[in-house]
Structure 1
């Protein structure tokens, strides 16, 4: 059995809401509200859900790009939330982020060579020749050529730019990567190429991913385990195939009902959710989903359901179970 590399326990991230002349805090946005999961080495754990459910904030909080409000992030046996700034800087080479939009994540004034050399100069004491060799190797790994080294980001297509972003994240040879919607800004024809590249690099470099996406077909293709988020909380998690074939939470069922069937003769019944997502500033009491759930009953409006294992390796936060 694979070793657990990352363990998230009770992770919370609240953003203050300020108002008035003196900018007093009048409330908090509950962006991530008590999230827990673990990821084994060389595994891909996916976070899915509607826009605004807290997926990206969770990923950034894990890496301490955003400082969590509460909780623990155990990476390779150490709680990184207790690390000093200097200790965290040293860990950055092992924990990297692939951004959603390669148009904004790459400095337009730097060539590819400069972009890929910078992380090496920051984290390692290498000679110019070693840096040059490493950059050339990484560029080849992501499917680009040496003649691209002296070009600027605007001289590449969207897919090529994302390859450069991936190369920049992986050139320090990290153990863990958060991939934040890495294909959502790309044409559909390019998405599969980038997904296959990520899977190849995972095998070649023994990488562990937290993969963030709203595209359920993409998630099924790349992940081994899935966590479904709603209003800052994980409402269901389990092995990918099991969760897709036997969704338990009403929200998960509604999400999966919207995925087009591969067989045109097999028409699925679409579950249309009523109402809007509640405000994360003032989340409802009890189950966060009960205001939109057609299965809601007594305890749903008063007590928050725990995320419980109702089948082997299949957890759900729902009073129906």
Structure 2
């Protein structure tokens, strides 16, 4: 049952007694918009949106300060997505949570995040305030994503971990010889950290 799923980490990690655990389970179910009687049901009895609420309850049961959200809306219908986004934002406000949001959904990124880290095959290419990165991207990879230049950018990554140059050089329109021989350093450009040889820092900016 859902209650047993929520109870397991409490039994294994906390020193709460049975009554205290039951009280906390009901509290967390209510937080995510479910009722206490939902705890007696099995996961397959719920809709996709309700199962996502259960997933949030499982993440919240140990009262974390930070939750990793890995494509939290990918399996949901469009009609349900806004409900889950609003729920996550409300939980963040109510509980003082921080989220690490992993997603390709640009609308969700713009709506939910304050800071945006852009990764290309696991390597940072750009980082900064979300609104600035989306409105004035600096790195060619970020620009290509925002232009929806390719639906399968991953096939153009350099996969060799020992490759000495830029991870995006085989795809980049700005590619130069040094891009194949040297990894770019991080530069502070207009409040963005950017890893690119061809994007130059403004006066007063620093390399890192």
TM-score (norm. length: structure 2):
0.89
Residue in structure 2 matching 1:186, options 76, 79, 86? 76
- 1:274–1:133: structure 2 CA closer, same or farther, 3 Å change rule? closer
2:185 alignment partner, one of 278, 284, 306: 306
Q: 1:225 aligns with which of 93, 115, 126?
A: 115
* Structure-1 separation of matches of 2:87 and 2:41: 22
Counting only pairs closer than 5 Å after superposition, residues 152-171 of structure 1 correspond to structure 2 as 152-171=42-61
- Tell me the secondary structure at the aligned position of residue 64 of structure 2: coil
Paired residue for 1:318? 196
In structure 1, how many angstroms separate the alpha carbons of the residues matched to 2:109 and 2:119?
14
Q: 2:138 and 2:67 mapped to 1: Cα distance?
A: 29
Q: Any idea what SS the aligned residue of 2:91 has?
A: helix
Q: CA RMSD in A?
A: 1.7
Structure showing the higher helix proportion among its residues: 2
Cα distance change on mapping 1:275 and 1:164 into 2, 3 Å? closer
Distance between the aligned counterparts of 1:275 and 1:229, measured in 2?
11
Aligned to 1:263: none
Which consecutive residues of structure 1, in runs of 5 or more, have no partner in the other structure?
1-110, 259-270
TM-score for both structures, normalised by structure 1: 0.59
Deviation string 1:217-272 (CA, Å, 9 cap, x unpaired) is 111111001111112201001100000110000110010112xxxxxxxxxxxx45
Greater percentage in strand? 1
* In structure 1, distance between residues paired with 2:173 and 2:163: 16
Q: How does 1:170-209 map to 2 (within 5 A)?
A: 170-209=60-99
Equivalent positions of 1:26-41 (< 5 A) are none
Unaligned runs of at least 5 residues, structure 2: 201-208
The aligned residue for residue 292 of structure 1 is 171
1:108 paired residue number: none
SS of the residue 2:167 aligns to: coil
Q: How many residues align?
A: 198
1:275·1:292 contact (CA, 8 Å) conserved in 2?
no
Identify the match of residue 126 of structure 2 among 209, 213, 236: 236
Residue range with higher mean Cα deviation, 121-130 or 150-159: 121-130
Report if the CA contact (8 A) 2:6-2:61 is conserved.
yes
Structure 1 residues 1-321: aligned runs within 5 Å: 111-258=1-148, 271-272=149-150, 276-278=155-157, 280-281=159-160, 284-312=163-191, 314-320=192-198, 321=200
Question: C-alpha separation between the residues in 1 aligned to 2:64 and 2:102?
Answer: 18
Could you tell me how far apart the structure 2 residues matched to 1:218 and 1:205 are?
20
